[in-house]
Structure 1
């Protein structure tokens, strides 16, 4: 398996940079002891701009697989590899679609895109976890713009509000790294309050727990808002369904595997593709309460054998180590305020 075959699970691997086109007060990131802290929407003007930027039409026009003309049921033996999640409302509301604008560093062109992020219980009641590459591609020192999180996103609706991003916290080893540092592909984002002044946790309740220091259990669920279905094997039954064009929450579940290229990445045979990046790997999930423990976040697609057949897998960077816990501690200690 060559690294060239690996697909980071946003729509493409692109360099991103922050421009000054929007009235944003985003600051250049500060870096200390392998931690980068980047200020994003920190003014009322920036918050307002981002909210107005993400219109229903703009969201609908983000690139995705062609929508299926007929919605067919996914065969029972294929559902573990990907299906719409229609269970716990608590779980659905804790996971959301994360919208961003990517800027090509070569020609300056902009592309709207999306990932997945999850609310985690924190002291500031305003912290979500996602993949670092959703905010900045490795090897770059610039970030996405127009970052907006919509928890429980479904069919274009925002049933629990819309939250702009105040601060991004990630490892400087990712920011300055390459494919050899995929284990650092995670980030914590501090959210601004909703328009009524409530934090994300005040709106949604407790978030999910992050399994710092926890050992991995054999079984897990992986969630995301994929805009594409993976194509190995080709033409999977998930292609074009609402949960695989970014409109609804999708999931995979099964027995955890280790990525052949190491770096601590683990995952499942899973048909979720681009857009699922940053989605949580949850173990010990109670489907009645909607609570579980996040042990990794979706990072990349790559092929592995299943019963001798090539199958796309969705691998995730671990978030259980002490260096990730340090990032979280910094993030949950930030009280978001707009100027």
Structure 2
């Protein structure tokens, strides 16, 4: 089986793992356990939706927002993560001697090492780039943001984007940014749209109300279904799409063609502080292990869940979300893969926008 790399980023828990342990000397606050409510909606054998209730009450929302202090957000540094395509289980099972996400060893050799991408470019938006800082503004600079979350006591960062929905609350991200395959659901899940350097939150922060993944992801961490939809709570009395707008979302679109992918990569040479994009032609998974499509892209850990758009207009920053950043094969460092939004993703979205 070919190794791949899901593109989360996490705060190291062991001193010396990535130089000085920034949070190792001050353990994360231990929060009291609380009841978890989950349910399964069955629309079709391959379109079931697994749901998790997150910060539903006002007290829970306040607790989550207070959890993400500037220090915790700044300390959510990237580490090397591994995923075995099609192996199932927790995405990172066994790396720390326990199931689920955790601190992984720094991979300095072997086929799983990710090469360093080239320097970020400051040139205007281009229809072909493997990784450049987005400086053209527009809607995408507001609708794309960073996600802060905790899984099994470890603080992680991902990326996500708003999409037009009936409830005005839905963001789309990667499944592994919501639930660790067959393992745990994320806690403290918070979306910061239009994130700015230094922890800036120009449009506020939105906590998760309800979270959704496809059945095949929850049962076996099937990378073809690495999609998560999250219905957010309001912030200052406003829905997220009332605050920052939304991109369109599309399903069962023609495969191939041109796409733009966005995210906040945090592994060097990126630092998670800037919106970065890739652009190019989509192509099928050459290993035939997933139904995903790939794009030439140097983005690194932290970009997981960032939206891919077709029909994207650089001048307005608008397009149609048809995938998200998911993983890279260890023997193909230059290609990012994202799940194809078919019927399962459509059912997922239909459930989330009614939540």
Global fold match (TM > 0.5): yes
Match of 2:329 in 1: 302
* SS of alignment partner, residue 271 of structure 1: coil
1:41–1:165: 8 Å Cα contact kept in structure 2? yes
Distance across 1 between alignment mates of 2:155 and 2:187:
10
Distance across 2 between alignment mates of 1:25 and 1:249:
35
Q: Structure 1 pair 24/208, CA: closer, same or farther in 2 (3 Å)?
A: farther
Instruction: Give a deviation string over 1:48-86, Cα, whole Å, max 9, x none.
Output: 011111111111111148xxxxxx764979x81111111
Match of 1:284 in 2: 311
Quote the offset at 1:88 in angstroms: 2.8
Match of 2:62 in 1: 48
2:256–2:283: 8 Å Cα contact kept in structure 1? no
1:269–1:311: 8 Å Cα contact kept in structure 2? no
Match of 1:183 in 2: 224
Match of 2:112 in 1: none
Match of 1:134 in 2: 177
Query: Aligned residue pairs: how many?
Result: 289
- Would you say 1:265 and 2:292 are equivalent positions? yes
Match of 1:225 in 2: 264
RMSD of aligned Cα (Å): 2.3
Instruction: Give a deviation string over 1:106-135, Cα, whole Å, max 9, x none.
Output: xxxx22111011100000001000011111
2:147–2:190: 8 Å Cα contact kept in structure 1? yes
Q: Please report the TM-score for the alignment, with normalisation by the length of structure 1.
A: 0.80
In structure 2, stretches of 5+ residues that fail to align are 11-28, 43-47, 80-118
Q: Structure 1 pair 23/329, CA: closer, same or farther in 2 (3 Å)?
A: farther
1:24–1:40: 8 Å Cα contact kept in structure 2? no
Q: Structure 1 pair 137/303, CA: closer, same or farther in 2 (3 Å)?
A: same
1:220–1:253: 8 Å Cα contact kept in structure 2? yes
Which has more helix, going by share of residues?
Answer: 1
Distance across 2 between alignment mates of 1:150 and 1:25:
25
Q: Write the mapping of 1:1-339 to structure 2, written as runs, cut at 5 A.
A: 2-3=1-2, 5-11=3-9, 21-22=30-31, 27-33=36-42, 34-64=48-78, 74=121, 80-103=129-152, 110-140=153-183, 142-155=184-197, 156-178=199-221, 181-194=222-235, 196-205=236-245, 207-229=246-268, 239=269, 244-262=270-288, 263-303=290-330, 311-319=333-341, 321-334=342-355
Structure 1 residue runs of 4+, over 3 Å off? 20-26, 72-77
Q: Structure 1 pair 82/37, CA: closer, same or farther in 2 (3 Å)?
A: same
Instruction: Give a deviation string over 1:226-253, Cα, whole Å, max 9, x none.
Output: 1114xxxxxxxxx1xxxx2111111111
* SS of alignment partner, residue 38 of structure 1: strand
Quote the offset at 1:21 in angstroms: 4.8
Structure 1, 30-39 or 163-172: larger mean CA deviation: 30-39
Quote the offset at 1:303 in angstroms: 4.9
In structure 1, stretches of 5+ residues that fail to align are 13-19, 66-71, 104-109, 230-238, 305-309, 335-339
1:117–1:279: 8 Å Cα contact kept in structure 2? yes
Distance across 1 between alignment mates of 2:33 and 2:275:
30
